[in-house]
């Protein structure tokens, strides 16, 4: 029988009265890929932070087995202690210094290690982790940056790798390459904890699955015989049906009524590079227009330019027949916005759940009376949104910073979608959401469309854009390529996303 490289016994973590992780046992074997699944707020990140020394357990013990096969108790006071015990973590938001080279970033990681063994740089090629060590990190694609993060962990000889939603930023082709790397690391005897909301990926890559629900471990088993439906049942206690998608109403009824009109739009990025290049497109009432693409290909700049948050270098942006300048004017035209980065633009972490839910002029107008906020209406509105979007814990007064990532995202969605804006710009709306919450958002976006509203859905999730879009584009290196004709050919779309194939433009 394979040996345990990591053991958690009866681990509990409380925040005040709240039990985020409740008496959890968990075992990780050398050479296995162990997936952790659970709905938003189930306790996955908290559990990982306990292993990585970012939190200390309120109860229970953690044991690691060292290179000499001795098991000892881990009392990690910080990530430095975890790293010294062979534990590495790749966060969703990379911890790289953009203006340094790959080699310099790895050297900095080595500097964190007080003593102990170091991985051999030359051995990394056998895992397929090929990156130019002299390249500046900021010049690398997201997929390559992720490789650098893994290289950093291997440089300090991590035998346990914690990967927090690692595929969220990758194109379908990159995911394949990434899985090959994981299998090589596994064959080398390293153990991988893989956190993901994507059932298909979990089923294809993991050996075993642990499911958490409301802080408790509710399931542990081999991946082999499980189906996505059975997993969803373990996670939330019920089946989830795929969203039913009917044809777009505008196709059947009136002639299209233009909502967003972009003509020859060029937008510069933060380093003055051309981020959006000569883009022309439109969205109409009663349709969802999808833009698929890998992160960092101009999607953020495109959304920010439409919202009036970024200047355009040339071209025009028409919204509902007008040409609003600046975010306030755009908002006043009735445009909803789900930004790419919830932490910097979506929520204000120190503000309460209620304040964040109502941070929108229209909401504020609805709950004001003679320019004074009606406290009763304010509370009712917040409580209704918390119920509708299943925001947990359902407490309107706590700061948003104490909510899990997925629940923070639900706040942005509740605020922006519930007002049923004429135009909704949604960038990766379901990133970090569990299957149930993602399903709810999909239904809401389709309802928007059915109410003759217009949605521009910009997403790195190909499955999502394919499911929801009436018309489809791919964005690659700042260019927009119409891809409706390719929608049944996922491989062709994947190639367009990585810019490897060119169609007539
Ligand atoms: N610092 C904190 N203070 C108070 N409560 C917290 C804190 N960190 C996490 N929690 C709570 O602990 C619970 C578990 O959160 P955690 O981030 O571990 O969930 P998760 O399973 O990773 O969810 P997601 O899939 O949304 O990222 C949540 O209810 C969250 O509100």
The atom of ligand 1 lying closest to the CA of 49 is 18
Residues 186 and 226: their CA atoms lie apart, in Å, by: 21
Among the residue ranges 65-69, 266-270, 305-309, 350-354, the one predicted with the least confidence is 65-69
Residues 110 and 118: their CA atoms lie apart, in Å, by: 8
Residues of the chain above pLDDT 90, percent: 54
Distance from residue 215's CA to the centre of ligand 1 (Å): 9
Assign 418 to helix, strand or coil: coil
Q: Is the pLDDT of residue 121 over 70?
A: no
Please give the residue that has the higher pLDDT: either 366 or 227. 227
What's 249-334+421-497's CATH class?
Answer: alpha beta
What is residue 136's DSSP assignment?
B
Tell me which of 16, 43, 58 to substitute to probe ligand 1's pocket, judged by most ligand atoms within 8 Å of the beta carbon. Answer: 43
pLDDT at 114: 54
Residues 111 and 396: their CA atoms lie apart, in Å, by: 43
| 324 CB near ligand 1 (under 6 Å) | no
Residues 86 and 125: their CA atoms lie apart, in Å, by: 20
pLDDT band for 1, please (50, 70, 90 cuts).
very low
pLDDT at 248: 63
Instruction: Return the percent helix, strand and coil in the chain, to nearest 5.
Output: 35, 25, 35
pLDDT band for 237, please (50, 70, 90 cuts).
confident
| 43 CB near ligand 1 (under 6 Å) | yes
pLDDT average, residue stretch 345-373: 83
Question: Are residues 497 and 474 in contact, defined by beta-carbon separation less than 8 angstroms?
Answer: yes
Nearest CA to ligand 1 atom 31: 403
pLDDT at 505: 38
Say if pTM beats, i.e. exceeds, 0.90: no
Distance in angstroms between the alpha carbons of the first and the last residue of the chain: 57
Question: Are residues 425 and 456 in contact, defined by beta-carbon separation less than 8 angstroms?
Answer: yes
| 210 CB near ligand 1 (under 6 Å) | no
- Answer whether CATH 3.40.50.970 is correct for domain 4-236: no
Residues 206 and 182: their CA atoms lie apart, in Å, by: 10
pLDDT band for 504, please (50, 70, 90 cuts).
very low
| 435 CB near ligand 1 (under 6 Å) | no
CB atoms within 10 A of CB 79: 17
Which of 439, 449, 448 lies closest to 197, judged by CA?
439
Domain limits of the chain?
A: 4-236, 249-334+421-497
Backbone angles phi, psi at 45, to 5 degrees: -65, -40
Round the average pLDDT of the chain to a whole number and report it: 87
pLDDT average, residue stretch 410-439: 90
pLDDT tens, residue by residue, 27-49: 999 999 999 999 999 999 999 99
> Could you check whether the bond before residue 393 is cis, i.e. omega within 30 degrees of 0?
yes
Long-range contact pairs involving 175-184 (C-beta distance under 8 Å, separation at least 24): 175/201, 177/128, 177/143, 178/143, 178/146, 179/204, 179/205, 180/128, 181/127, 181/128, 181/129, 181/147, 181/150, 182/33, 184/126, 184/127, 184/128
What is residue 342's DSSP assignment?
I
Sheet holding 18-29, edge to edge: 18-29, 4-15, 59-65, 71-73
pLDDT band for 122, please (50, 70, 90 cuts).
low
Residues 7 and 268: their CA atoms lie apart, in Å, by: 50
In three-state form (DSSP H/G/I as H, E/B as E, the rest C), the secondary structure along 265-332 is EEEECCCCCEEEEEEEEEEECCEEEEEECCCCCCHHHHHHHHCCCCCEEEEEEEECCECCCHHHHHHH
Residues 388 and 413: their CA atoms lie apart, in Å, by: 11
Residues 216 and 274: their CA atoms lie apart, in Å, by: 48
Nearest CA to ligand 1 atom 3: 402
Please give the residue that has the higher pLDDT: either 246 or 462. 462
| 400 CB near ligand 1 (under 6 Å) | no
| 164 CB near ligand 1 (under 6 Å) | no
């Amino acid at each position: 029988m394979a040996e345990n490289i990591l053991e958690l016994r009866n681990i509990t973590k409380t925040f005040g009265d709240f039990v985020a992780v409740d008496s959890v046992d968990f075992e990780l074997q050398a050479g296995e890929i162990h997936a952790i699944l659970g709905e938003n707020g189930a306790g996955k990140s908290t559990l990982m932070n306990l292993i990585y020394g970012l939190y200390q357990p309120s109860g229970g013990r953690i044991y690691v087995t060292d290179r000499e096969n001795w098991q000892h108790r881990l009392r990690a006071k910080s990530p430095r202690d975890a790293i010294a015990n062979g534990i590495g973590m790749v966060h969703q938001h990379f911890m790289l210094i953009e203006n340094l080279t790959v080699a310099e970033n790895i050297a900095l990681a080595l500097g964190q290690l007080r003593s102990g063994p170091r991985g051999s740089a030359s051995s990394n090629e056998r895992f397929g982790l090929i990156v130019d060590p002299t390249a500046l990190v900021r010049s690398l694609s997201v997929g390559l940056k992720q490789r650098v993060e893994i290289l950093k962990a291997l440089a300090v000889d991590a035998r346990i790798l914690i990967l927090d939603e690692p595929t969220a930023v990758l194109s379908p082709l990159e995911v394949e390459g990434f899985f090959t790397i994981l299998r090589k690391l596994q064959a080398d005897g390293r153990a991988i904890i893989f956190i993901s909301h994507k059932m298909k990926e979990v089923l294809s890559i993991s050996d075993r699955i642990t499911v958490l629900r409301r802080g408790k471990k509710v399931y542990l088993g081999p991946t082999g015989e499980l189906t996505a439906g059975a997993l969803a049942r373990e996670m939330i206690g019920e089946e989830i049906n795929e969203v039913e998608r009917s044809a777009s109403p505008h196709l059947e009824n009136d002639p299209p009524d233009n909502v967003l009109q972009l003509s020859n739009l060029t937008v510069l990025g933060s380093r003055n590079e051309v981020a959006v290049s000569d883009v022309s497109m439109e969205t109409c009432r009663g349709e969802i227009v999808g833009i698929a693409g890998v992160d960092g290909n101009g999607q953020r700049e495109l959304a920010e330019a439409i919202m009036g948050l970024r200047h355009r270098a040339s071209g025009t942006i028409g919204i509902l027949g007008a040409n609003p300048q600046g975010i306030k004017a755009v908002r006043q035209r009735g445009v909803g916005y789900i930004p790419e980065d919830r932490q910097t633009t979506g929520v204000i972490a120190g503000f309460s759940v209620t304040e964040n839910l109502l941070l929108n002029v229209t909401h504020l107008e609805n709950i004001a009376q003679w320019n004074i906020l009606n406290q009763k209406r304010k509370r009712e509105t917040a409580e209704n949104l918390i119920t509708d979007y299943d925001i947990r814990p359902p407490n309107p007064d706590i700061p948003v910073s104490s909510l899990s990532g997925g629940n923070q995202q639900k706040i942005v969605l509740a605020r922006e979608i519930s007002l049923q804006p004429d135009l909704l710009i949604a960038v990766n709306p379901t990133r970090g959401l569990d299957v149930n919450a993602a399903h709810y958002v999909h239904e809401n976006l389709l309802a928007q469309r059915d109410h003759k509203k217009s949605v521009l859905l910009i997403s790195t999730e190909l499955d999502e854009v394919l499911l929801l879009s009436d018309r489809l584009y791919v964005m690659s290196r700042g260019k927009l390529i119409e891809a409706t004709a390719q929608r049944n050919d996922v491989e062709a779309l994947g190639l367009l996303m990585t810019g490897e194939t060119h169609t007539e433009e």
